[in-house]
Amino acid sequence: MKRFVLFSIGLAMLLAAACSSPETPQPQEEQTLPVSSFFGPQPRPAGVDAALWRQLVSEFDRVLQAQGTARRVSVPPTGSGSEVGDLWVTPDGGGGADMSWSYRNQGDLNLDGTVSIADLTPIGVHYLNSSTAGDWIEHQIADADANGVVSITDLTPIGINYGGKVAGYEIQMRFLSATEWTHASWVPFISSAPGSTQPPRYSFHLAAPLPNLVYRVVPTANADEPYQYGVASNGVLYSLASVPFWNQQQGGDARNGQSKVAGPLTETVAWTLELAGTAAHVTSPVADAYGTTYSSLAAPNPGMMQPGPGTLYAVNRFGQLEWSYRSGKSLSPPLLSVDENVYVQEDGGSILCFSRDGHLRWKRELAETSHGAWWQPVIADNGLLIAPDAEDRLNAIEPDGSLRWSVALAAAPAAAPTIFDPVLVLPLEDQTIGGNALTDGTAMTAFAFDSRWPVVYDDALTCSSPAAASTLSAFCR
């Protein structure tokens, strides 16, 4: 009896094995994960090509080996690529001031506060996207080496800065005449929203800042004293905070060519910088409170009157290139706001807003225009950006990129707008000058006068007429 039972069970097992389907082989990429010499097997992130992921893991091993940084943990970021360059301090109108700056930790592409192997994933997800694409703002977080394209070379900054950590920022201050910095406060690290491609923005309120104090922020790798310090930010003198030297073409919103500060007394050349390529169109440069100069250049466009694709350049006061942005379209002259935004308008109508350190903060699409790059926008003292578009509308854009108002014009713009507070003045192609209220865009006045480039000086609007070159007229309020 026992033998019969054993035989029956054995026969059943054989029959079951014979009837079962053969095991489905697993894909090769799932059977053998790419293995890092330092971190072991690395599962492929969703949305990343298997072959590309193997290449990234292998190349990252090579970079870490070359840099000798694989075993480094929790060190403060010290490279120039991690330097905060957009710190600003603005009076709040009540005796205090507000500080603001962007998070910087070169190589921390997933914005979790630490440079690690997890930062390879954004490179794989955004691979081969470039700044010439219209949606670059969604991809630029993975451009670790800031060359305008997401590629294999973006692994190098991750390897160089591997282990770099920002636990928070110490706010430091000193008097203008002093050399030693003192502790003012400490702000903890801020996490970005899940899936965010924009570095977090920090803010801190100064209750009662003293005149002639210089402020800066310094990243720390730990939250408790003694701090491990990283690279310090730009310093901001409170009494001059956020006041650009020359913030838009012709000096300011009045277009009168007058600077807020005295210029040099000699003609000595301080520096010369050769920019790549031959430019068909060079725009009027602007300069901020720290001596950084911004200008946009356009490549030649054979057979066309308008220039080709443009590049925005930022050059520091020593003549060194800080950053650049390549666009697939020609660009207007840049503009600077009091909160240290840098704006340009593409000839396709889009308004681009950059931080002082070159990060694209937002992009506002306007109706495509062929004259948008030439009749550049204007910035009012309150930070409101006003720009025309192809549908002959005037648009007022807030510093955060939101639209405050948009109104139809009687005709196409003929020149750049000028501010004759509280009115925005705009010459039109129907040989009239229109006036719109800055508050809501309401049409306030219009009179017949064929004008180009009106300026405001001594509380009067001065205009010249291209129809009569010798004619110069001034209009009072």
pLDDT of residue 43: 94
Among positive and negative, which fits the CA dihedral 69, 73, 78, 81? positive
Residue with the larger pLDDT of the pair 128 and 415: 128
Residue 188 pLDDT grade (very low, low, confident, very high; cuts 50, 70, 90): very high
Contact 57, 120 (CB under 8 A): yes
pLDDT of residue 7: 39
Contact 36, 159 (CB under 8 A): no
Whether 365 is covered by a domain: the verdict is yes
How much is the pTM?
0.63
pLDDT of residue 310: 83
pLDDT of residue 14: 40
Q: How far apart are CA 248 and CA 431, in angstroms?
A: 25
Q: Which of 154, 161, 138 is nearest to 56 (CA)?
A: 154
Residue with the larger pLDDT of the pair 412 and 155: 155
Which two tokens mark 283?
């725009």
H helix or E strand, kind and range, residue 4: helix 2-19
Q: Which domain holds residue 441?
A: 249-258+273-476
Q: How far apart are CA 222 and CA 387, in angstroms?
A: 45
Residue with the larger pLDDT of the pair 262 and 3: 262
pLDDT of residue 393: 87
pLDDT of residue 20: 46
Residues composing the chain: 477
Whether 213 is covered by a domain: the verdict is no
Q: Which of 340, 283, 350, 353 is nearest to 311 (CA)?
A: 283
Residue 464 pLDDT grade (very low, low, confident, very high; cuts 50, 70, 90): low
Once rounded to an integer, what is the mean pLDDT over residues 61-84?
93
Region of poorest pLDDT, from 183-192, 243-252, 388-397, 427-436: 243-252
Residue 448 pairs in a beta bridge with 432
pLDDT of residue 265: 65
Whether 411 is covered by a domain: the verdict is yes
pLDDT higher than 70, residue 244: no
Region of poorest pLDDT, from 210-214, 223-227, 260-264, 340-344: 260-264
Q: How far apart are CA 249 and CA 284, in angstroms?
A: 6
Residue 226: is the preceding peptide bond cis (ω within 30°)? Answer: yes
pLDDT of residue 184: 95
Half-sphere exposure of 247 (CA within 13 A, CB side): 25
Tens-digit pLDDT profile for residues 10-43: 434 444 444 444 454 445 444 568 999 999 999 9
pLDDT higher than 70, residue 336: yes
Whether 339 is covered by a domain: the verdict is yes
Once rounded to an integer, what is the mean pLDDT over residues 371-397?
78
Whether 428 is covered by a domain: the verdict is yes
How does 261-293 read in b/e, with b if 16+ C-beta sit within 10 Å?
eeeeeeeeeeeeeeeeeebbbebeebbbbbebb
Residue with the larger pLDDT of the pair 168 and 90: 168
Whether 232 is covered by a domain: the verdict is no
pLDDT of residue 77: 96
Whether 145 is covered by a domain: the verdict is no
Tens-digit pLDDT profile for residues 324-334: 898 878 888 89
Residue 403 pairs in a beta bridge with 397
Average pLDDT, the chain: 81
Question: Three-class SS string for 237-291?
Answer: EHHHCCCCCECCHHHCCCCCCCCCCCCCCCCCCCCCCCCCCCCCEECCCEECCCC
Residue 110 pLDDT grade (very low, low, confident, very high; cuts 50, 70, 90): very high
Q: Which of 224, 231, 85, 102 is nearest to 167 (CA)?
A: 224
Whether 427 is covered by a domain: the verdict is yes
Task: Report in angstroms the alpha-carbon separations of 440 from 24, 337, 374.
Answer: 68, 20, 24
> Which positions ≥6 away from 93 have C-beta within 8 Å?
none
pLDDT of residue 239: 65
H helix or E strand, kind and range, residue 16: helix 2-19
Tens-digit pLDDT profile for residues 413-429: 877 788 887 888 888 88
H helix or E strand, kind and range, residue 63: helix 50-67
pLDDT higher than 90, residue 321: no
Once rounded to an integer, what is the mean pLDDT over residues 335-343?
83
- The structural domain count of the chain equals 1
Residue 375 pLDDT grade (very low, low, confident, very high; cuts 50, 70, 90): low
pLDDT of residue 55: 96
Contact 356, 340 (CB under 8 A): yes
Q: How far apart are CA 344 and CA 357, in angstroms?
A: 15
Once rounded to an integer, what is the mean pLDDT over residues 184-198?
90
CATH code, domain carrying 404: 2.130.10.10
pLDDT higher than 90, residue 465: no
